[in-house]
Structure 1
Amino acid sequence: MVTTFQHVQDAVFQRVNRKTLDQVFLSMVETGAKCPPFVSNAILTTAKKVYNLQDSKKEDETLKPGQFRVIGVLAKEPAGKPLKDCQLGECTITLDAGAEDQVIREEFGVTGLRRAKLLRITTEAHEQGIDLTQEDLAYRILNCGLRTVRRDIAYFKQKGILVPTRGQQKDIGPGVSHKVLAVKLLLERKSELAIARTIYHSLAAIERYTVTFARVVFLTREGLPARDIAFLVQNSERLVKEYQQLYQTYNKPEYEERLSEILSHAQSFRSITRKGSSSKKNGQR
């Protein structure tokens, strides 16, 4: 990109305007609260951090279409603790998955799409250390009634699928995530179509979970720690550990054939990984 005089001038004006706004804020705080400059600067820095003003452009560039950031309760906060006393954090969720959501709507209707979004959003948040409340989901994200969200959670609970919300926090443990359940059912030789209907997902999503599981198993066999595997497969460390536990459970003679079929999905990933290892060795020589 060629830098022109106009680009430089625009950048200068932006810096000037930003500085001017900062100075107005600092002046108002110092005058109104009668505080020294170092205190007003600390207040300004905190305000920018809370309202995402410092790196808002950078954050927007990392969001994919259909994604946005929401605030929720940290998952580490104990059940029963009043919300007003809980620590909050941010997470990125996918409200609209584009073509994949269109496929789900055509196949399962509006109810199926809502349930798919409920599973996806709560899982995304939980994997980032945030548990959304049922009120958050109903009134701020899915725009439906609170009873509707509770009915959907009850539906999945009957099928043994975990919906990790703040209200369900004390139940987190007995259930499994829908991603793990999808692979578990595949190991038990359920068809991908039947699994998709059970959890209101597209066949593409089921395939994606299968590939990720296969890659996790391959890298686990290679001796990599969970944190490194999470980075390589671009998923949370929590999910990696759940997949590893699933592999340990089903790594038995009666599932050997089915497990081999599923692990073949990591073939291309295996080739890339080995090629990368060879390149490193050649570089060291």
Structure 2
Amino acid sequence: MKLRILIIGLTAAQNQALSTELMAVAQGGTISISTTPSATPLHVTRQHPDLLIAPLNSENVHLARRMFERSPRMHIFLLHHPATPLSEIAALRQVGWEVASNDLGYTRLAYKAGAMLGLCPEHPPGGDDADMRPAATMGDVQILLDVLRRQTKAQLVLYTDQIGNLITHRGDSDEVDMTSISSLISGGFANTIELGRMLRDPDTRHLTLLEGKHFDIYSTNVGNQRLLTLIFPKAFVEPKLGFVWLQIRRAAIQLSQMRIVEGNLGQMMAAELSSSLESEFDRLFADNLHDASVDR
């Protein structure tokens, strides 16, 4: 008998990616997966899955409670934003629900889900390498983005997941549709990662450069799960390609080495990251600190 998994509230791209990883974990034959963009009363009265997966929000928590009342053996797996308070996460875990950050990556989320159903260990083969990274807070990430924005003279810095969902941003976003830009850039990123897999080169570096009449946009990947984007208004600055690429690449590497946690324990790490970027910036471009123009 197949175990039934119901996924609610994810995008089509997220459903596809997570479902693929879940089938791989289950080796294709022991689970059936249903997806829906939003919950309906029928999910409470007629759906009795073995596992419910949904983003953490008040609507889904209410739905999960109602479904759990009808199916006490059902497992519940909620995906939270990295900035969700620890108290909220702890309260859900106390009632026996599994909660994980939505930026873990689909492979790790699938293994956690599979472990709840007894299909696999909780972590992928090779261990949970990300837990070995230094802990840092969202405040540390924002400080690093502030340094990058100041050095490159960008109007706006976006930090998103691999399908364009905004994690955080720094700078002036008044004239920028952040959601649309992030979503469009993420489409090209997915193709680059897949190309890297075909070439058996998992460390592929993705760089998108869009030169327009009014704006220039630079974007690169942070590992395989996140994107870093810089937006420049051409009325105020003409960014140097080599300079911006060096700085955004260096910041992406720093971000990929950070494990985001709650609290204030990362202030020293943020200072070290900022100092590192500042020193490299001064060493390489000391003669051009106030010159962001280039002849092309």
TM-score, reference length from structure 2: 0.27
Report the structure, 1 or 2, having the larger strand content.
Answer: 2
Structure ranking higher on relative contact order (CA contacts 8 Å, 6+ apart): 2
TM-score, reference length from structure 1: 0.27
Q: Find the structure with the greater CA-based Rg.
A: 1
Report the structure, 1 or 2, having the larger helix content.
Answer: 1
